[in-house]
A and B are shown apart, each in its own frame.
Chain A
Amino acid sequence: QVQLQESGPGLVKPSQTLSLTCSVSVGSINSGGYYWSWIRRHPGKGLEWIGYIHYTGNTYYNPSLKSRVTISADTSSNQFSLKLTSVTAADTAVYHCARLIGYSYGLDYFDYWGQGTLVTVSS
């Protein structure tokens, strides 16, 4: 069974960069037609998809965050990472990593998720 685990600082100061890593067990992130994604959940609100990195290395970001987001992969460690710059209190959320099943003609479903990590933006 594929398992994903997020790691990173739980507290980030305003204007700084949020950095999280997702470790994937079982199977390589460099194989298969998977889209390795980040999703966040603001307190008391719904989910927001942040973006993905495809096993080919292609990335796509939610336009609402595109100017501040970078998702990258380290295939040697079987991990992928999220960087979000210039954070504000509005970026306080639980951040989940997940594996997205998709095709050239559409994105389908998230079949495995990490349990999430709370990141608080505060001075």
Chain B
Amino acid sequence: QSALTQPASVSGSPGQSITISCTGTSSDVGAYNYVSWYQHHPGKAPKLMIYEVNIRPSGVSNRFSGSKSGNTASLTISGLQAEDEADYYCSSYTSSTTLVVFGGGTEVTVL
């Protein structure tokens, strides 16, 4: 069982917006702004999409945005496109001795 809780799957039609939640605790997501999101297409290297809650690295589409409220972080994909179909993982720094925790991953399907 992963330390951060994500929905197993989220789907949407092309052009729609979807949001993926990532729920942690007051020791990780709620305590730090070191929350990041990764996109993973099978067989490829995971790609950093958002870091420090809401910062997009250079080259990442502005259709991807991040936010946080309390112990829950969220990734929103707007204007959903076929190429967005992938697995998405959240991660956070934690005050526990584990230091870094991940979510279980969310499979995004474009209908």
Contact = CB atoms under 8 A, between A and B. Distances in A.
Interface of A: 4, 39, 45-49, 60, 62-64, 96, 98, 100-101, 106-116
A109 B46 contact: no
Interface majority SS on A: helix, strand, loop or mixed? Answer: strand
Contacts of A101: 51
Contacts of A114: 45
Given A46-B2, A47-B89, A47-B105, A109 B99 contact: no
Nearest to B97: A63
Which bucket holds chain B's interface residue count? 20 to 34
Given A108-B36, A115-B45, A48 B93 contact: no
B57 interface: yes
Given A46-B105, A113-B46, A115-B44, A107 B100 contact: yes
